[in-house]
Amino acid sequence: MHNDDGINGAGGGADGHPEDRPPVPHTVIEGRYELLEPIGSGGMGEVWKAHDRRLRRFVAVKGLLDRRAMTPDTQKAAMQRARREAEALAKIEHQNVVTVHDQIETADQVWIVMKLLEGRSLADLLSRDGVLGVPRAADIGLQMAQGLRAVHEASVLHRDVKPGNVLVRDGGQVVLVDFGIATFEGADRVTRYGGVIGTPPYLAPELFVPTAHGPTSASDLWALGVTLYEMVEGRLPFAGNEVWEVQANIQESPDPVLRYAGPLGPVIQGLLATDPNGRLDAAAAEAMLREVLADPGTPTPTRAATPAPPPTARPTPPAAPPAEAVPSGSVPSGTVPPGPVHSGTAPSGSPSASPAAREGRGRFRGWKIAAAAACVVLLAGGGWLVSRGDSGGKHDDASGQQGSGSAGGDAEQAWEQWKSARKRLTIGAKEDQPGLSFHDEDTGVWSGFDVDIAYALAERLGYDKTQVDFYGVTTANRASKLKNGEVDLVVASYSMTPAREKRDGIRFVGPYYKAGSSLLVRKNSAKYDLDEAVDVKRNHVEVCTARDSTYADKLQEDGYTTGKWQPDTYKECVERLLDKRSSVYAVASDDVLLAGYARNDPAHLKLLPSGAGTEPYGVAMRTDDPLLHSKVCSGLQQILAGKEWSEMYMKDLSPLTGRKTAPSRPELRPCAAE
């Protein structure tokens, strides 16, 4: 169940906590709306599932967060915003905009009663899938544009368009939600003069010009462009968490690289025009998105045989005449114009569409021609592989374009030379960790999450499974195997730490998984009752862990008792734990690692979650191979971007963790430029 407020509430970014919830369940508002359970919260409001006793239906009711934590001034402003949100929504009736049913006000609370919708936010969708295929992104973008057009025609500005405020229902319907900071003609100002509120990565650059007169409909369209880019590229066009960081990146690089947008490229470019007067309006964007969806030959990027370049590198465009050789006003065949075609002047003060903006509907054809020409060139060059009927599921990343520049050619030539010297790829992995990395000595088969990650990486490096050799390593010797050149990579539940990189002279790419820490104990102990981690510490029983693991030092620091000698593998620790003559009563390691042992021997072993932090797993390699590092970084980014990672988790780790859905993918650490 999702709520009409989105994952992030007004202003975005704040999460409600149980102790902050204003009412208790089954509070009845005005004798009509019975609050049942909280289903979401944001910066200023919390949304409850409620039952309308009069009409006998379920609704969503949004109210302010804990008023006790507010000063009289902040409470007054919050109530004013809530009134304004209800007024703004009441002006709009559209299938792509959340519907408001009622507004109720008490002495210190404003309740907004809205239609209860089932679905998930676009932010959740992107967190799960990483990226969306072009057709699905175009469909979502089209519905967002339709909703924004209705919003603007009602003289309302949303001001916080972002994936967290876009609800995607199971049937595909898209609904704009959370109008908590919306404004409209005649609305009272609730922020200080000149103040800019919203979510930094989605704020338009004109809002920060000294002569700015506040947000316009063009500002909402900029945010739509950012969201479209994020859907198909898997990242934000302008990095940064703070306003100044984002705006500095916009000024420095106003034209973000488009690698997977295909025919959506012109739409995104038009929406991300830094000049609001040259930016597409909702009508023009809607028309262009319809054309993208109507074209049965819409190309979408699929995995190419050649791995993608590092994400920091700007792909080399197809060969085209020099810019100065192009006559003014013309577009050479096979090229995309470097900047957006002006579809009309965006409104400067009123959010309603201007006549010039409405003309954009008839001016989008130049964009369509440019997009089609670009697609022809890309298809001819082999950079795009057509996949008809893409619904936005698995996204197989590729470089998107085959660079014709010398830098790209040199890099590919260097990589081919690297591969020619290594006909087979040798990967170090552990042999004794069920579910993570296990080598069946009888069949010779390797299996587990680490193994699947390794195979997927090898494929992106240009090696098929028959060209991959696994080499058994342990916690204690994996660094030396790398440094000695016995393996090319290590994928072995290897926790990424700066200390390891410095001490062992290795380099990590990742994380590709984040594990929690845990303790494994005997299920029935005649001497101690070990039901919680604190029992292990309190009874001073001996804890075993693998030599050179991150736990070797942490255990003593955290007050646990360890032996003087630690084995090379966790398998040896488990064997000592099961030996009743041994002094070992617990094994400390990562939760998913120990879960494999517990699952294989449930009659004798059980897990005790200790909840002490996370262990980020990385792919390790030598520091003297920047080319390999670049390829692995690009390949791992591709794996994390699509459904492949979630499928691996569900196959290998879900049986160990008991989760019915895959967790959020870990965020890949930025790869240093070579």
Alpha helices in 513-619 (DSSP H): 533-538, 551-557, 570-578, 591-600
CA 473 vs. chain centroid, Å, equals 32
Residue 274 and residue 125: Cα distance in Å, rounded?
Answer: 28
Which one from 139, 160, 396, 504 is the annotated catalytic residue? 160
Residue 14 and residue 19: Cα distance in Å, rounded?
Answer: 14
501 phi/psi in degrees, rounded to 5: -60, -40
Nearby residues of 223 by Cβ (< 8 Å), 6 or more positions away: 158, 160, 161, 162, 202, 203, 204
**Dmax over Cα atoms in the chain, in whole Å?**
89
Three-state DSSP state, 358 = helix
Residue 470 and residue 437: Cα distance in Å, rounded?
Answer: 11
Torsion angle of the four alpha carbons 326, 331, 336, 341, in this order, in degrees rounded to the nearest 10: 110
Six token digits for residue 340? 């957006």
Please tell me the total number of residues recorded for the chain in this structure. 674
- Give the DSSP per-residue string, 471-535: EE--TTTHHHHHHTTS-SEE-SS-B--HHHHHHHTEEEEEEEEEEEEEEEEESS-SS----SHHH
Residue 244 and residue 534: Cα distance in Å, rounded?
Answer: 46
Three-state DSSP state, 611 = strand
Neighbour tally for 644: CB within 10 Å: 20
> Judging by beta carbons within 10 Å of its beta carbon (0-12, 13-18, 19+), is residue 321 exposed, middle or buried?
exposed
- For residue 147, give the nearest of 167, 133, 164, 119 by alpha carbon: 167
Q: Which residues of 584-602 are buried (b: 16+ CB within 10 A; e: fewer)?
A: bbbbbbbbbbbbbbbeeee
Residue 488 annotated to the active site? no
Sheet-wide strand order for 110-115: 28-29, 33-41, 45-52, 57-64, 110-115, 100-105
CB 2 within 8 A of CB 38: no
CB 170 within 8 A of CB 256: no
CB 118 within 8 A of CB 39: no
What is the set of active-site residues?
Answer: 160
